[in-house]
Structure 1
Amino acid sequence: MKRIYLYSLILFLAGFCSNVNAQKDPLKTFSFILGSWEMQMPKSKIVEQWSQGDDKILKGKSYRVSAKGDSVLTETLQIRTKGKEVFYCSTVAKQNEGKEVCFKLISTKNKIYIFENAAHDFPQRIVYQKLGKNEMLAWIEGELNGKSRKSEFRYKRE
């Protein structure tokens, strides 16, 4: 019984420390996301590009690219700190009256980074999972009209 308690305490502290480290330097924590990522779809692809901005801010843009090569900016993104907390902020074209919506980092366990905004209509959570040097999985999830929804985006580094 003492071993179970000890292991539980160690896991809790490891998770706590990883959240603290993410809050101290989000650039280091999320450096895996830097660069250009793409997800192939039947008639187009989605491209997400991330770069390092000033003051420990990561800046991203998401595009939909047609088979002909035409691209449309779908959203601008940032991962930044406000006080001691880390936020994922998104401005989506033709949504939320063009206003930015921010999601607070609530978990950084097992290379899965969960951002949440329970007050947002949909999604309430945005999640990134580092799968390796050249692959990551992102998804949005939450409730919409009383039903649970989830959309996944499996990206490969360009």
Structure 2
Amino acid sequence: MKKKTLNLFLLLIFYVTLGAKAQNRLPKAFNFLLGSWEMQTSKGKIIEHWKINTDQNLKGESYRINIKGDSLLTETLTIKKIGKEVFYCSTVTGQNDGKEVCFKLISTKQNTYIFENLTHDFPQRIVYQNQGKDHLLAWIEGAINGQNKKSEFKYKRI
């Protein structure tokens, strides 16, 4: 009887642990980001690379590559669940004393994912729009000194 009770207890612990891990997983809707994306600019190109981390969060890195081919890491990115909410978190090289800044997911309509942090100086919103297998549109927007500003990033899969 003790062995049966112990087995039931261990089975219960297993299912509770499995359920907790499943609750912390990101929705598969973000998998469209996985892989490498490139945007040509007049000064070279911007590369974003996304993968699934061992903790099941999406981990990204953004690089600028100049015309000579020199690369510079500009930011590290994470899309993760904190509690029941999803956040886009960025650590930008040379900004915010190296601290991560997070933006809460506020909308997921029509393949467009809007993350917002109204307390941040700029941007206050970061948006990713899935435009099919090989195209991704991202933009940042918000107000600077009372003026609305928006910067777009048109990526192609590489």
Please report the TM-score for the alignment, with normalisation by the length of structure 1: 0.83
Question: SS of the counterpart of 2:110?
Answer: helix
Kindly report the root-mean-square deviation, in angstroms, between the aligned alpha carbons of the 2 structures. Answer: 1.2
4+ residue stretches of structure 1 with deviation over 6 A?
none
State whether structure 2 residue 113 is matched by structure 1 residue 135. Answer: no
CA contact (8 A) 1:114 1:128 kept: yes
Which consecutive residues of structure 1, in runs of 5 or more, have no partner in the other structure? 1-22
- The superposition leaves residues 10-64 of structure 1 with CA deviations (integer Å, 9 ceiling, x where unpaired) of xxxxxxxxxxxxx874251100000000000112100000011022200000000
Q: Does 1:58 align with 2:36?
A: no
Q: Contact 1:34–1:51 at 8 Å: present in 2 too?
A: yes
User: Structure 2, unaligned stretches of length 5 or more?
Assistant: 1-22
**Aligned position for 2:101:** 101
Which structure has the larger Rg over C-alpha atoms?
A: 2
- 2:148 counterpart residue number: 148
Separation in 2, partners of 1:62, 1:38: 10
Paired residues of 2:38 and 2:157 also in contact (CA < 8 A)? yes
Deviations 1:123-150 (A, max 9, x none): 0000000001000100000001110000
Q: Secondary structure at the match of 1:87?
A: strand
Q: Distance in 1 between matches of 2:62 and 2:51?
A: 12
Q: Which residue of 2 aligns with 1:37?
A: 37
State percent identity of aligned pairs: 65
Question: SS of 1:26's equivalent?
Answer: coil
CA distance in structure 1 between the partners assigned to 2:71 and 2:92 by the alignment: 15
Q: How many equivalent residue pairs? A: 136
